[in-house]
Each structure stands twice: as C-alpha cells, then as structure tokens.
Structure 1
Amino acid sequence: MKRNGSAEFLYQLFALIIAAILVHGVYVTVIRPQANALVQQQLEQQAEGGVYVQQRSLFVVLKDYEQEACFILLFWALAIMGYKAREILLERKSLQGSLLNLRDGTSILPEDARDLSRPLQALPESQQSLLLPRSLIKALQRFDSSKSVTDAANAVRETCATESDRLDSELAMVRYIAWAIPSIGFIGTVRGIGEALGQAHKAVEGDIAGVTVSLGVAFNSTFIALVISIVVMFFSHQLQLMQERLVLDTENYCDRNLLRFLTVRD
C-alpha cells in the first residue's frame, strides 16, 4: 500500500503528544501524590526508630521521571504499531477476494494479458495501491511485454521483495523506541547512583534514608524500562510476523490464481 508520508508523520506526532498528555496527567494526579505520601510515611516511621519493615509499593516504583518517559514511549510505539497493523489487515482483505476469476483449465496467452489487466487498472486508487493488485498488474504487464512466464513470476517476486524491504524499513522508529526505553532506564540508574553517592556522608553519620531512596530510583527505573522494552519487542515481532506473512501469502496467491494459468505458444 502506498503511504501518505505527511499523514503518517502527523499521526505519529499527535500520537506522541496525546501519549505524553495522558501519561503525565496520570502521574500528576495519581501516581506521584500517592508515592510521595507513602515515602513521607516511611521516612516518618524511620525517624521514630524501633522495628521498621519497608513496604514495596507500585506507586513508589513508578514515580520517577524516567518511568514516565518509558510509558510515554510505550504508548507511542503501540500507537505506531496499531496504525501499521491496521494497514496490514486492509491488505489481507484483498487476498480474500478473487480479482481475476479464472477457472481451472484456463490458459492465458501473452495477448490476453492486457485485457486481464484492465479491470485491475480500473480499480479505485486506494485498491490499486495494495500489494496484491500491484503484483498482478506487474506480472501481466511483464508477461505481455516479454512473452515469458518466468519473467512474469520474477515480476511478482520483485514487487513482493520491494514491499518487504519497505515494510521492514518502516519499523525503524519502533526499533528506535525499543532501544531508547532501556537507555532511559539506565539514565535513571546513573542518576540514582549519583544521588546516592552524593549523600554518602549522611549514611556514614547513620542517616541512610536519602541513600535508600536514591538507590530505589536507580533500580526501579531500570526494572520498569526493561519490562516495558519486553512488551514493545513482543508486539514489534508480532507486527513483523504479520508483514512477512502478508508478503508470502501474496506471492502464493499470485502463483495459484495467475502464474499457473500463463501459457506461451511454441
């Protein structure tokens, strides 16, 4: 399917903005207030002395800026992959129909190719841009000009190979996000360890509260980033599998419904 580059860019841009607004809104109204209240309560219990058991809370684990950035990238990646998955599903609908309506035993000669391609060329532009009609048109045009079944088959393979390369290249942004999420987590690790080292003198004096909070930032950010990265990579591989199956199924469709009917007179 031919893409409207500007429309897809605007979709990705607005998806990023909406993801940032929604995630930041949840953090400001729910996660950080709850986390700050829990941290303050724990600090007060530490200050009172006595037996103290620190309780783990999801709000505390999620509260830092690195985790917020990771969630924004997660929802942005899901929006991009959802857009591309929708396009793949539209492509697959064309495989469920019969564009040529050829019966078994039919023989297609080179002089018949032009007549067969006319209904395909008369399709609406939105349908002509799909992979299957493009592959069929290319095969018929090549068969008409070269009078060779092999050349027609090569035309199908070339069209599908080009589409496969294009689909793979369009996953570049998703791959970048999958790389960026763990990197942001490691930034949180460095920040947390740096803050902990900056409060080492307090720990020597017996006040370890600041050090433990900073180390929590370090480990929590890495933990959340790695979990989110696993989710992004899972859906990314599922999308790539859908794309590869589309290309292979298109080649098989062309072979079953067109190429096996092509005949050249001796």
Structure 2
Amino acid sequence: MPEPSSRLVWSLRDIEQRMGFRGSRFTRVNGLLSSLIAAAMTIAIYATLMVVEPNVYTDMLTERGFTPYVIVFFTIWSLVILMIKLSKLRLQRRALELDLIPEETGFVLSVATVDRVMDRLFQVSDDPKSFVLLNRVHIALSNLRNLGRVTDVGEILRSQADHDESTMETSYNAIRGLVWAIPILGFIGTVSGLSAAIGGFGKVLSETDDPAQLIDALKGVTGGLATAFETTLVALVAALAVQMLITFVKKREEEFLDECAEHCQRVIVNRLRLNQIETSD
C-alpha cells in the first residue's frame, strides 16, 4: 500500500472539503462557497475604499450608483470560481503520478488480474470516483469481465472520456452567466446615468430661458455622459479580464483530459490480454 503521504485522500485534500463545505465532484465548484468568499472579498474591498482618499478610480466604483457594486461582486465571484477550479485541477492531476498497475515485469491485465488493479485503486485513493482518471479506470475495469475484446474496453474509455469532457463544459455554465451579466450591468448603469443627465437638462429647459443657465445645464449633461460611460468601461474591462482567465483555465483542463486519455491507453488498454480477443464479430 502507498505511504500515507502519497495516498490521494480526496476528503482531506479537496479545497472545498477543507473549508467545511461539500466538495463538488472533479473540478466543479460549490456555488455557495464561492459566492460567500466573493461576498466577503467584495465587502473587504469596499471597506478599504472607504478609508482611501477619494480619486477618479475610487469614484468609478463608489459614486456611480448600484451597478459598480454588483459588477465588482460578479467579477470577484468569477475569479474565485476559477481559482478554486485551478486548485481542484492540481489535485486531479496528481492522479497521473500514481502507479495503478503492479510493478511487476511482464504484468498482464486480464480477467484473472483485474481484482488486483481494482484493489490498487482503493489503495492509492480513498475515493477513486472523485478523481477523473481513477473513475475512468474504475468504470472500464468494472466491466472487464463482461467484455470479450480489447476494443470494447477502449470504447468504454472513450465513452467515459466524452462524458468527462461534457462534465467539464457544464462546469463553466455559472461563470459564463456571470461574464454575460457583467457588461449588461455596465450598460444598465450607463443608461441610468444618461437618463439622469438628460432628465436634469430637460428640467432646466422647462424652468428657464436664460442662455447662461442653459449652457451650464448642457455642461452638466456632457459631464453626466462621461460619468455614465465609465460604468460600461469598468464592466467591459472586467469581463475581458475574466474571459481571458476562463480561456487559460479551460485550456489547462482540456490538456488534463487529453493526458488522462493517453494514460488510459498506455497503462490499461496496452496491457490488456483477454481470452476472447477478436475471436468473433
């Protein structure tokens, strides 16, 4: 059995489990935990801004209505999700370093030896089904006795690989929604600012015909327009930054899934020897 330090204990090493929350499977993220962390960080940021000397940047986040507050929260929430996913991905990648096959010269994986490999899965991890690679191997080997050809095992592994890829894609649904909402909130803030600025100018028009007052009111409108568009600027910059990070993290996950497929081919399929290999169609 592997040394305790090298054994993958998901219940102790998963970041969500360590924080006292139910750990989501594979690289999925617990929505409640991520939202609570994001809320705490947002409060901390705005508490800091309260004691910082006001400037153009603090005004963009605190003096433009309610939308900047929501934009900051959604942005931080997205970043927290990505950071948790990276942590969970690092844990998943550690399964690639495990020796799943007994270290014996000429060891052949067959119906007679499959139980040894199955036992090995539970020796190297407390819960193989919580790891992408180990779960994929577990599913294939669990069906080994019912299969007659090596190609059947390979087909199960490919099917599970497709399922894992689909699971990975759906794990980004929440953050995609946040990235979609961030610029929309920016536009809402801009429209709100435009309405207030134009409404103020209309009020002046209805109350006076003095050209000097009209000019002053028009200056207020143009200043209001600049202020209103700042909200959209903040939102677009935030959405762009988050989208770039999503691309980076997703690429890492896709590379990991490719490595899992290669690992299964090399360690499992290439070592299989079945009694009924290719004897019949």
**Could you tell me the TM-score, scaled by structure 1's length?**
0.81
Could you tell me how far 1:128 is from its partner in structure 2? 4.5
Matches within 5 A, 1:70-219: 70-101=71-102, 105-201=106-202, 202=204, 205-207=214-216, 208-219=218-229
Q: Is the 8 A contact 2:191 2:228 kept in 1?
A: yes
1:181: Cα distance to partner? 0.5
Q: Tell me the distance in 1 between the aligned counterparts of 2:108 and 2:34.
A: 47
Percent sequence identity over aligned pairs:
22
Give the direction of change, closer, same or farther, for the CA distance of 1:103–1:170 in structure 2 (3 Å limit).
same
Residue 11 of structure 1 and its aligned partner are, at CA, apart by 0.9
The residue that corresponds to 1:230 in the other structure is: 240
Q: 2:30 aligns to what SS in structure 1?
A: helix
CA distance in 2, matches of 1:131, 1:152: 17
Aligned equivalents of 2:115 and 2:93: distance in 1? Answer: 25
TM-score by length of 2: 0.77
Higher mean alpha-carbon deviation, 76-85 vs 197-206, is at 197-206
Counterpart of 1:160, as a letter, is A
Give the residue type in structure 1 aligned to 2:54: Q
**1:258 offset after TM fit, Å?**
1.4
CA RMSD across the alignment: 2.6
Local SS of the residue matching 2:54? helix
1:254 positional shift: 0.7
Where is the helix percentage greater, Structure 1 or Structure 2?
1
CA distance in 1, matches of 2:126, 2:257: 20
Aligned with 1:24: secondary structure?
A: helix
| Distance 1:189-1:104 versus aligned 2 partners, 3 A rule | farther
Give the gaps of 5 or more residues in structure 1: 36-56
Q: For residues 224 and 129 of structure 1, what CA distance do their matches in structure 2 show?
A: 39
Q: Could you list the per-position Cα deviations for residues 20-57 of structure 1 after superposition, in whole angstroms to 9, with x for gaps in the alignment? A: 31232234333xx614xxxxxxxxxxxxxxxxxxxxx4
Residue 218 of structure 1 deviates from its aligned partner by 1.7
In structure 2, the residue matched to 1:23 is 45
| Equivalent residue letter for 2:81 | I
Aligned residues: 243
Unaligned runs of 5+ in 2: 1-9, 15-21, 206-210, 277-281
